[in-house]
Amino acid sequence: MVGPVELVVALLALVPIGAVVVLAVKARAAQPEAFADAHGFSLTAANRPLVGSYLDRSWTWRITGALLGVVIPFGTRIPGLEMLGGYLVGALAAELTHARLRRSAQPAASLAPRSLTDYIAPGILRALRATAVLAVALVPMYHLLPRRASVTDHPQLLVASGLALITATLVEGALRVIVRRPQPAIAPDVVSADDAIRAASIHATAGAGLAIVVLLVATELWAFGFGTDVQLIRWVAPVLSISTTAGAFVIWSVLGHDRPWRVRRNNAGEVPA
């Protein structure tokens, strides 16, 4: 006899498979023209090969990573975690293996500084940090609440919070590395395409990273529901956990795929005291 919990877990396990299929179809449709439109630059003979190669490479690596995450069981028993982890690794691999801009015989550089918030909304970075802090804060909260007699401890709570903190730290570090990647000042159309490619890689990495951290929080909430003796939390926490799991996939779907973004570079301002 299949209980409601097993049924929910079985249904959640189908989510990553469906997500990969949707991603594969959606991302395959991305063409250089659409990418250029979404990122606010013009395609030229000089930047088209760069954009085309990036779109192909990023599709291949991200889908391969996500599929490997679905196929290879790492035994986390968190629906979708391996898939999201695979997608994140694939997004980073696509960025790392992407062809770098070549310097001209006379190296040139722009005097406009690059910062992470030129390429992604600061709110997403704040959300990543805040969710990781929440994941850590849930551990002492769990221990403060009265627990059911049958439940002694929940080691996965500690593992999930640690993993969330490590993921958030590594993801933010990776985003900063992408921004720091050298950008010699060559033709402006090539530099604009390179900026758009950076923004796409940053969104894919941040989207997958944030989704993983949110999913880990959902796992902790699930453990809350089973571990606590407080009746209200026993009912509310699993509902929150399922909604948060769904939220993780929405975040990944909205942020993690070539989200339109126009890079803002500005070095004018007041000198801080």
Partner 1 sequence: MILRVDAESPVPPYEQIRGQVATMVAAGVLPVGTRLPTIRQLAADLGLAAGTAARAYRELEQTGLIASRGRRGTFVIHHRSSLPAPAVSGQLVRAARAFAMEATQLGASHGEALAAARRALDEVTTA
Give the footprint of partner 1 on this chain (CB under 8 A). Answer: 103, 105-114, 180-185, 187-188, 191, 267-272
Query: Which residue, 29 or 271, has its beta carbon nearer to partner 1?
Result: 271
Judge whether 119 and 99 are in contact, CB under 8 Å: no
- Residue identified by tokens 């956990």 is 241
Q: Please name every residue paired with 147 in a beta bridge, in sequence order, or none if there are none.
A: 228
- Residue identified by tokens 């849930």 is 138
Minimum gap (Å) between residue 129 Cβ and partner 1: 16
Minimum gap (Å) between residue 174 Cβ and partner 1: 16
Judge whether 161 and 131 are in contact, CB under 8 Å: no
Minimum gap (Å) between residue 213 Cβ and partner 1: 25
Name the strand (E) or helix (H) holding 167.
Answer: helix 155-180
Minimum gap (Å) between residue 243 Cβ and partner 1: 37
Query: Which residue, 77 or 180, has its beta carbon nearer to partner 1?
Result: 180
The Cα–Cα gap between 212 and 80 comes to: 9
Query: Which residue, 25 or 111, has its beta carbon nearer to partner 1?
Result: 111
Minimum gap (Å) between residue 189 Cβ and partner 1: 10
Kindly report the length of the chain: 273
Q: Classify residue 230 as exposed, middle or buried by CB count within 10 Å of its CB (0-12, 13-18, 19+).
A: middle
Query: Which residue, 82 or 118, has its beta carbon nearer to partner 1?
Result: 118
Judge whether 50 and 189 are in contact, CB under 8 Å: no
Query: Which residue, 231 or 270, has its beta carbon nearer to partner 1?
Result: 270
